[in-house]
Amino acid sequence: MSFAHELEFGLVLAVVIADQPSGQRHVTRLGNTPAAFLEASQSPDALARDPVNRRSQAEHLPFVYDQETYAQVGAGDLWEEQAQYGYKTGISVGLHLPDKRWFMLGCDRDKQLPRSDAKMARMLADLHLGAVHALTAAQRLGLFNLQEVSKPAVLLTPKEKLVLELTAKGKTSRGVGRILELSEHTVNFHLRNVMGKFGVGSKHEAVYLASDLGLIGRQRE
């Protein structure tokens, strides 16, 4: 939350969703969501219509939302309701985990996001990596009391491990290449291989899973 506040997001919500074999859905939330908003926004109808909620569970990459996001799907009334509590624009990050689990981090504010493409790209990348570290820390502290799930058997090459460890420290593909004396193309090749092995759509999700499985060192907050 402190990290999000440094980026001038006043509202932060982390959510873990786990679909159980029984068909039930276990949801755990942690954040500073106003109690009145949480009560008003959790109706089945609102959750089903909310485009941010749907996209967070379907997409791997962080995305920006604003009033237009809701208007495009005929849910402008939901945005108007949320705006009263400061939820006017924000960024949502969804991480897809094994055994039908999702981790979502939403950072919201009531003022406009940066207009600069470079600043927005950096903000999206920072929040994506921040979401991975937040989930790792939360699970280590026992904040999300999920049942133990099966862990996939994945073998990584020594080079893939090095690439992931440096990526976990926030290095770009170009930066990793400089350190390991590899081309950026080769680094991305290793990252794609690792993502394929884990069945995920982003390098940050691969970092999280590799850390969770003990294949690379856990990162400190």
User: Residue 48: its pLDDT value, please?
Assistant: 82
pTM for the whole thing? 0.68
Give me the average pLDDT of each 10-residue run along the chain (221 residues).
90 84 78 80 78 83 92 93 92 80 88 91 87 78 56 80 88 92 93 86 81 70 38
User: Which residues are within 8 A (CB) of 84 and not within 5 positions of it... i.e. 6 or more apart?
Assistant: 37
Domains identified in the chain and CATH numbers? 2-140 (3.30.450.80), 158-212 (1.10.10.10)
User: Residue 200: its pLDDT value, please?
Assistant: 77
User: Residue 147: its pLDDT value, please?
Assistant: 46
Query: Would you put residue 19 in left (φ > 0), alpha (ψ -120 to 50) or beta?
Result: beta
How far, in Å, CA of 55 to CA of 60, rounded?
A: 9
For 217, the enclosing helix (H) or strand (E) is none
User: Residue 191: its pLDDT value, please?
Assistant: 93
User: Residue 221: its pLDDT value, please?
Assistant: 38
User: Residue 216: its pLDDT value, please?
Assistant: 85
SS3 of the chain: helix, strand, coil, percent, to 5? 50, 15, 35
